[in-house]
Amino acid sequence: MTVEQLKEYIAGKYPVMMTPLDTGRYDPVYEVKSGQLLEIARALRDDENLKFDFLCNLGATDTGERFEAVYSLASITKKLRLDFKVILPYEGAKIDSVQEIWPGANWFEREMWELYGIDVKNHGNLKRFLLPDDWDQGHPMRKNWDAPDFVRFPEL
C-alpha cells in the first residue's frame, strides 16, 4: 500500500473519526477525539489491511494553548507508517492509557504524566520516573515552567 492508498483507505473507512491534518508532509497525520482514542487505536491495530502493531513513539507536546499527544505507529508486516494526535485542553488534561493495545506505551505515558502533568486513566504505574523521587517543582516540560537558571535565547 502506498501513502496515497493509505490515505484513501483511511478516508473511506474512518471518515468521521479520523480527521486528516495537512501539516504532515511525508507520513499522514490525523486528529482523533480523546473519547474515541481506544476505539480507533484498537481498530488500527486489528484491521487486516493495516495491522499497526508497532508503537514507534508517543509524546506529548505543549503548544502554549493546549496539549497534544502524538502517536507514531508502524506496521511491521504491511510496512506502513501513520501518525495521529489527540488534542487535550490545558486545564484538567486526561487521556486513556493505550497499554492494552500497545503494552510498550507504559513508559511513554509515564513520561507524559510526569513531565507534562497529563493524567493517564487506567495506567496503574504512575510513579516518578525521569525526575528525582522527591521532585516538587511542577512539570518541567510545560511552556510556562521556568527555572531560576533558565535563560531564554534571543530571537536571531
Partner 1 sequence: MSALRTEEFIVNMGPHHPSTHGVCRLMLTMDGEKIVAIEPYIGYLHRSLEKICENRTYHQCIPILDRFEYVTAMSCNYTFALAAEKLAQVEVPERAEYLRVIMLELNRIASHLIFFGTTAMDLGALTPFLYALRERELIMDLFEMTCGQRLTYNYIRIGGVSKDIPAEFVPKCREAIKIIDGKVDEYMALLNGNPIWKARTIGVGYLSPELAVAYGVSGPVLRASGVKYDIRRDDPYSIYDRFDFEIPCRENGDVFDRYMLRLDEIKQSIRIIEQALDGLPEGEIKGKVSLKFKPPAGEVYSRVENSRGELGVYILSDGSDKPVRVKTRGGSYSQLQALPHFGAGGLIADLVAIFASLDIIMPEVDR
Interface with partner 1, residue 27, by CB under 8 A: yes
Tell me how many degrees the CA angle 65-94-66 measures, rounded to the nearest 5: 5
Closest contact distance (angstroms) between CB of 103 and partner 1 is 5
Least distance to partner 1, CB of residue 51, Å: 10
For the bound state, the minimum distance from the C-beta of residue 18 to partner 1, rounded and expressed in Å, comes to 16
Cα–Cα distance, 81 to 73 (Å, whole number): 6
* Residue position matching grid coordinates 488534542: 87
Question: What is the DSSP-derived secondary structure letter of residue 35?
Answer: G
Q: Can residue 63 be called a binding residue for partner 1 (CB under 8 A)?
A: yes
Residue of 16, 26, 48, 91 interacting with partner 1 (CB under 8 A): 26
**Residue number, 4 or 26, with CB nearest to partner 1:** 26
The single residue among 7, 9, 13, 24 that binds partner 1, judged by CB under 8 A, is 24
The interface mask with partner 1, positions 83-102, x = CB under 8 A, is x------------------x
Nearest to 57 by CA among 29, 33, 77: 29
Q: Name residues whose C-beta falls within 8 Å of residue 12's C-beta, 6 or more positions apart in sequence.
A: none
- Burial label for 118, CB within 10 Å (0-12, 13-18, 19+), is buried
Q: Does 20 bind partner 1 (CB under 8 A)?
A: no
